[in-house]
Each structure stands twice: as structure tokens, then as C-alpha cells.
Amino acid sequence: MISDEVVAQLQKLIVREKLDDFARLLEPRELDEVPLVSRYKHIQFLSRLSAVEKAEVLTVWAARYLIEVADHVDPQRRSNTVIMVSIIRWEDLDDSMPEPPLPNFWICSDKKRDLASFGLTVGHSSRAQLVMMWLRNEGLDGRFAVYESASTEGDSKRVYIALRDDPTVVDLLVP
């Protein structure tokens, strides 16, 4: 459970990163990843936590905020708009001074144009399982699904969190 003090700091982070400007965040454009955190100094309030614990707090917060972001998509554009959280920079955990993998808001405002060759699979990697555990620990696993890129080239660099049964995401799943 995230403490009230940390929640207050996370709410300030949303404002600092201008993620509360939904018109700008969701304006039609090519596929984009908008970071929850643009600079590590913006999460100094989590300094007492390990890199993995920071990643958990940030990932859970991003997942919760994803609900609000999705609620602000123009209903007429919703069927062609995909919104997920992508978690990147997993390799930073392996540095001598580890930093947390960071969540982004992965936004595609023209699915038909930008995602013709993009596919997802249900997340089975150790990274995806870790994200599922974080969501489960917060009682959010029923609300969200965890995915990975369907590409078989190399190790998946991203883990994705989407609203469970979001039709704009479900039809990106490959068998």
C-alpha cells in the first residue's frame, strides 16, 4: 500500500510532468511514449526505497492513472486510440548504481495507421511476472492485463499494462 505522503508526492509529480493536461497528452499524433518521470531528481521523495521498490510504486501509480487518462479520450476517437503503460529501461536495474525501470504512457491516437504490424502477447517473462505481482499486491490484477511485444527479435525491452478487456488492445493480441 502506498502511503498518503507518497501519494501526495505522486500527485505533484503528475502536475510537474504536465500529465494532467489531457488535451495536450491525448492530442492526435503519431505513436508516443510520454514518461511518468522525466528526471530521476523528480522522484527523490522515494530515495529511501530500493530501485525495485521505486519501480513498483511508479508502475502501480502509472497503472492507476491510466484509468483517468483513458477516461479523457474523446469517445468518438476511442475505438482508434490505444493507451497503455509501457515500462522501459529494465537494464538500469543491473547498473552498479541501480535505477528503477520507468513507466510511460504509451499512446497511439491512430491505431489503424500506426499499429498495422504491431502485436502483443500475454506477458510471461520474469519482468512481466514481476509487474503482475506488483499489481496483484495492490489488488489491481483484476483491473489490468500485462503484455509484451509479440516480436521474437531479441529480449523484450518493454512490458505493457493495459486495462483488462480493452477492445483496442485485445485485438492487438497474436496467438
Q: State mean pLDDT over 54-82.
A: 94
Whether 144 and 135 have beta carbons less than 8 Å apart is answered as yes
Q: State mean pLDDT over 55-66.
A: 96
Q: Measure the CA–CA gap between 123 and 149, rounded to whole angstroms.
A: 9
- pLDDT score of 94: 79
Q: Over the chain, what is the mean pLDDT? A: 91
Residue 37 pLDDT class (50, 70, 90 cuts): very high
One-letter amino acid for residue 145 of the chain: A
One-letter amino acid for residue 92 of the chain: D
Q: Measure the CA–CA gap between 57 and 65, rounded to whole angstroms.
A: 12
Would the pLDDT of 166 be above 90?
yes
Q: Measure the CA–CA gap between 116 and 73, rounded to whole angstroms.
A: 21
70: left (phi over 0), alpha (psi -120 to 50) or beta: alpha
- The DSSP-derived string for 110-166 is -HHHH-TT--EEE--SHHHHHHHHHHHHTT-TTTEEEEEE---SSS---EEEEETT-
Structural domain boundaries in the chain = 4-170
Chain-centroid distance of CA 61 in Å reads: 9
